[in-house]
Amino acid sequence: MIFIYTYQSQKTELTILHAGSLAVPFKSLSEIFMQENPDVHVNLEGYGSVTAARLIVEGNRTADILAVADYEVITNYLFPENLSDWYIIFARNEMVIAFTENSKYADEINANNWYEILNRSDVTYGHSDPDQDPCGYRTLLVWKLSDVYYDKNIYESLFINSSRRIIRPKSVELLALLESGELDYAFEYKSVAVQHNLSYIELPPEINLGYWDKAEYYSQVNITLSDGTLIIGKPILYGVTIPKKAPHPDIAVRFLQLLLSKTGQQVFESLGQPPIYPALTNDVNKVPEALRGNVTNYSP
């Protein structure tokens, strides 16, 4: 009797939990990384950032990397549980109102009248769940900042119209509703609108949460999540960390080296999401040594 043995190579699984708005750039980075590291398979899992953090905190998922749309998700959820003690801020973004050519009043809406259009009785609009996704609570902050900027009761008028307001767990889940015509307008990150070839309204710098020099202006408003977390208006900054219980921390460091490299910066730039270089961190001495040359200390 002849026995034939077959050999199957076992690839190391690198698991990354990431914000839904990072799906496209992280897919590109993962393809590059797997070409350079053929013994590794990158497993990408997209969630609302808060949901991703909670999965780790509650022990429901083990991850090598957590990448979120708001670096304070790391400080608010992982730091208190001693699951991480550092973060790296690597990219920024801004809020826009995304729509398609089939959206009602698409030929009328602009940066000056968007809130009037959204308040029309036949218009639907959507955002992600503030308790699960930073894009959701940033939408509410945009509405509150709009009250200040336009001197109108925009937050109240948009928040109470629940019959025309559609909410999904994460912002990218609204895209299919836009494309099907079920939703007229969605509050999204600019990078998501660019990546999915959507039309979008650029909001004034005073309300779009995209500008460093407007940080003090943004801080005028805040909201409280259902778990009691206070969210103060501030510029949109994406953060990443390697949880202390990561199964493959050395490989995770290599992935973050790619993220912070010129190649990584070019990937993000090409997809409408400006990278931050040098990247920012709460403590250079706590960041893995191989990454320290690409980061500098940041005090919010």
Does a structural domain hold residue 18?
Answer: yes
Q: Among the three residues 217, 232, 247, which one is the final residue of a domain in this structure? A: 232
For 15-58, the pLDDT digits (tens) are 999 999 999 999 999 999 999 999 999 999 999 999 999 999 99
Strands 40-47 and 12-19: parallel
Q: How many domains does the chain have?
A: 2
9: confidence class by pLDDT, cuts 50, 70, 90: low
98: confidence class by pLDDT, cuts 50, 70, 90: very high
282 shares a domain with 156: no
Does a structural domain hold residue 5?
Answer: no
219 shares a domain with 108: yes
Q: What is the CATH number of the domain that holds 176?
A: 3.40.190.10
Round the CA-based radius of gyration of the chain to a whole number and report it: 20
The owner of tokens 């940033």 is 138
Measured in whole angstroms, the distance separating CA 132 from the mean position of its chain's CA atoms is: 11
270 shares a domain with 251: yes
Three-state DSSP at 210 gives coil
Does a structural domain hold residue 6?
Answer: no
Token couple for 62: 């083990």
Q: What's the domain range around 259? A: 12-92+237-297
DSSP 8-state assignment for residue 85: S
Distance CA(61)–CA(222), nearest Å, equals 30
Token couple for 15: 């698991």
For 187-246, the pLDDT digits (tens) are 999 999 999 999 999 999 999 999 989 999 999 999 999 999 999 999 999 999 999 999
Tell me if the bond preceding 247 is cis, omega within 30° of 0.
no
Q: Among the three residues 215, 232, 249, which one is the final residue of a domain in this structure? A: 232
159 shares a domain with 125: yes
211 shares a domain with 154: yes
pLDDT of residue 42: 97
Distance CA(27)–CA(299), nearest Å, equals 30
- Mean pLDDT confidence for 126-141: 95
In this structure, the chain runs to a length of 300
Task: Find the distance separating the first CA and the last CA of the chain, reported in whole Å.
Answer: 71
Helix (H) or strand (E) holding 190: helix 190-195
Does a structural domain hold residue 274?
Answer: yes
Q: What is the largest CA-CA distance in the chain?
A: 87
255 shares a domain with 138: no
pLDDT of residue 137: 95
Quote the pTM value. Answer: 0.89
Q: Among the three residues 210, 232, 254, which one is the final residue of a domain in this structure? A: 232
